Structure 1
Amino acid sequence: MAPLSGKVCIVTGATRGIGKGIALQLAEKGAKVYITGRTLDPPKDSSIGGSLRDTAREIEARGGTCIPVQCDHSNDKDIEQLFETVKRENDGRLDILVNNAYSAVNAIFSSMGKPFYEQPTSMWDTVNNVGLRNHYICSVLASRLMVPRKQGLIVNISSAGGLRYLFNAAYGIGKEACDRMAADCGFELRKQNVAFVSLWPGAVGTETVLDKFGGGAADTIDSENVPQRYQDKKKMLELFQKGETPEFAGQCIAALASDPDVMPMSGKILTTFDLGQKYGLQDAPGHAPMDMRSIKLGLLQGGYTWIAALTPGFVRVPKWLLSLGGNKF
């Protein structure tokens, strides 16, 4: 029997990228997966494509069960209707919620290098309405289904941008809030046996990111507001091309959902690299999750190649020391 057979899941923002990869993996492992997004049919004017029907067809081609639900995650009524549908069609059952919906990628890339005070004030809502506020609303509605059954898993897709500066101010604020949401909501859900975690993927070669860094790959972003390691677009393209596939995060979430001892991890930040090590997961050939705690990798990204060559790959930054990188005290 498939490890997630009988499970009911919601994956928000699953038309492409990490959301699509997660939906593919959960369905392949036997779950009934509801996928959401604003685009039901493939757009005719997009070079990277992506739609709910595309994802659903790919899931069904693998033998999985998928229910596409067109949903604008900036519209509370759409969100409420989504959860009512899942409740009605599954006798109140929901086992896994993955908060992945995000609508700010284009805005972030277009404003790269501009300080927050030179960006329109609407940048906050562009980044954090769907990417943060919606995650909270979905988590509230999911918990109302999970708590009565005393089981469930909620996952916020976040990033290391919640620890150190990355892309822009609104992005980092939103990602740290996603991490704190998992911690505080996880604290309140612990007695109800419902787990809530924040997941940090590494560099993921999504269609959108490869398209953005691939356009004029030889260019350099010259700005004091962008960390040096992110300025060379050619190097960034190579990093994402060799990084995780969009489905690796899905493997990690499927493993978490299958783990009877998941509760000790609730309320914490988890990385795809660590989960891959814990559960013995393998990404597609030629791709590898990024170890954010690797000292060797940090030295390489900082340009200290000769020191990196002398540093063993297994030497890692302790988690307590990594947390100090937030520089808040």
Structure 2
Amino acid sequence: MTMGTRPLSDAVALVAGGTRGGGRGIAVQLGAAGATVYVTGRSGGSRRSDLGRPETIEETAELVTAAGGEGIAVRTDHGRPDEVRALVDRIAAERDGRLDVLVNSVWGGDPLTDWTHPLWEQDLDNGFRLLRQAVDTHVITSRFALPLMVARGRGLVVEVTDGNTARYRGSIFYDLAKSTVIRLAVAQAAELRPHGVAAVAITPGFLRSEAVLDHFGVTEDTWRDAVAEDPHFAHSETPAYLGRAVAALAADPDIMTKTGRALATWSLSKEYGFTDLDGTRPDFAAHWAEALVDEYGPLGDPL
């Protein structure tokens, strides 16, 4: 996709988990490509999710519209089938049954992830809650949204994950969540292929989300100040980079050739020719091979 064009001007997208981070970046870049984007999540109006962060779906929807698309915020708890069914029914009614892109980006597991203890010392309630938030929400959303795509014989499902290889991700429930999301893309691709609908998983590299910027005490304008604290941060990328990758996939007329695959921003940027906001093409896999492989081992083969 050539940036500055509007190849998705007739497209309807649902970004589940579009409040912040990668989901927000995807929603905004789909809008920049001209799409109508339904932005959903639990942080809407005066109500915040249990993460307690200030971002809202309404803010994301406004950014989508400002980018050139049409942003529509709908507060939805994707762990509740009744709410997801109502959301999809609304999209079908308002868009004449059309849904071109489904992005499953619901996460919310950061405060539940235990990076310190092995399984036998972990809190099971927290671990299973993480899986419900990070996996069940994706299954529920696809269950109700996919019929719109199947009925039209076209569409793209994007499962947002962390990493596209079999490398262990450092915490058992986190690893289960992120690798399971990849398998969801593979499984959906197998079932959707006869209907002309594609499904892929996609990972960013070191993502400069709002929470990560806050962690380092910097903003997007001053993010390089944090490189002294963490040299690997120099190879980070904005949520827009992930968003441009998804927009490029959604605009690809040959997307079925990628169905069932686990993809990454750094390789897609080379294939489709997009860049991050500053004109660079961050490649965290290349940085890993150069600076992290001795400490953490190779990334491994794609799942």
User: For 1:112-261, what aligned pairs fall within 5 Å after superposition?
Assistant: 112-160=115-163, 163-212=166-215, 237-240=230-233, 242-261=235-254
Is the CA contact 2:17–2:40 (under 8 Å) kept in the aligned structure 1?
Answer: yes
Identity %: 34
What is the CA distance between 1:203 and its match in structure 2?
A: 0.8
**Residue in structure 1 matching 2:292, options 268, 282, 301:** 301
Change (3 A) 1:236 1:252: farther
Question: What SS does structure 2 have at the residue aligned with 1:103?
Answer: coil
* Unpaired runs of at least 5, structure 2: 219-225
Change (3 A) 1:104 1:60: same
Question: What SS does structure 2 have at the residue aligned with 1:122?
Answer: helix
Mapped to 1, the partners of 2:67 and 2:201 lie a distance apart of 28
* Unpaired runs of at least 5, structure 1: 216-232, 305-316
Moved more, 240-249 or 269-278: 240-249
How many residue pairs get aligned? The number is: 289
Mapped to 1, the partners of 2:294 and 2:279 lie a distance apart of 23
Give the letter aligned to residue 301 of structure 1.
L
Higher-Rg member (1/2): 1
Residue in 1 that maps onto 2:61: 56
Change (3 A) 1:63 1:90: same
Question: What SS does structure 1 have at the residue aligned with 2:134?
Answer: helix
Is the CA contact 1:34–1:66 (under 8 Å) kept in the aligned structure 2?
Answer: yes
Is the CA contact 1:242–1:287 (under 8 Å) kept in the aligned structure 2?
Answer: no
Mapped to 1, the partners of 2:28 and 2:271 lie a distance apart of 21
Structure 1 length-normalised TM: 0.80
Question: What SS does structure 2 have at the residue aligned with 1:112?
Answer: coil
C-alpha RMSD of the superposition:
2.7
Mapped to 2, the partners of 1:46 and 1:102 lie a distance apart of 11
**Residue in structure 2 matching 1:23, options 5, 21, 27:** 27
Is the CA contact 1:42–1:49 (under 8 Å) kept in the aligned structure 2?
Answer: no
Residue in 1 that maps onto 2:274: 281
User: Does 1:267 find its partner at 2:263?
Assistant: no
User: For 1:38-49, what aligned pairs fall within 5 Å after superposition?
Assistant: 38-41=42-45, 49=54
Residue in 1 that maps onto 2:221: none
Higher RCO (CA-CA < 8 Å; seq separation 6+): 2
Is the CA contact 1:39–1:70 (under 8 Å) kept in the aligned structure 2?
Answer: yes
Moved more, 132-141 or 31-40: 132-141
What is the CA distance between 1:36 and its match in structure 2?
A: 0.5
What is the CA distance between 1:205 and its match in structure 2?
A: 0.6
Give the letter aligned to residue 29 of structure 1.
A
Structure 2 length-normalised TM: 0.86
User: Does 1:102 find its partner at 2:107?
Assistant: yes
Give the letter aligned to residue 300 of structure 1.
A
